[in-house]
Amino acid sequence: MIETVTIRVSERVARSATYLAARTDRRVEDILAEWLDQAAVEPPVASLSNDEVLALCNLQMEPAEQVELGRLLSENREGTLDDQGRIRLDELMRAYRRGLVRKAQAFKIAVQRGLRPPLGHES
């Protein structure tokens, strides 16, 4: 079910959403809805338990998605990627980037909590 609501966002959020919408040829409303969905599904890393933070540090893309991403990237390089493939590539790249960001956040939190040594200080 989709619910329509009206919200006020900061100028910074509006600018970011407008910029991303223009870059990806999407509607600002769709960008904001995606961000809200994301926030609802993925709680802030700092709110996770130690075990959840450590699990996130080891996060990897599913093997099938890695294979699909590699294939789509190859097709894109070769200029043989169709519109559907381009959409799927964008989806996978967004998920990949999101995963990398959360993984980096998890490493930072793990170091702050003393669960992991700082990078370059592994024993």
Per-residue pLDDT tens over the stretch 70-92: 999 999 999 999 999 999 999 99
Residue 41: what pLDDT? 84
Alpha-carbon distance of 82 to 61, in angstroms, equals: 23
- Report whether 46 contacts 111 (CB < 8 A): no
What pLDDT, on the 0 to 100 scale, is given for residue 43? 85
**Predicted TM-score (pTM) of this structure:** 0.66
Phi, psi of 17 (to 5 degrees): -65, -40
Domain boundaries, the chain: 1-41, 45-123
pLDDT at 122: 65
Q: Are 17 and 31 in contact (CB under 8 A)?
A: yes
Strand residue runs (E) in the chain: none
Q: Is there a contact between 45 and 109 (Cβ–Cβ < 8 Å)?
A: yes
8 A C-beta contact, residue 101 and residue 85: no
CB 78 within 8 A of CB 70: no
Task: Give the chain's residues under pLDDT 70.
Answer: 122-123
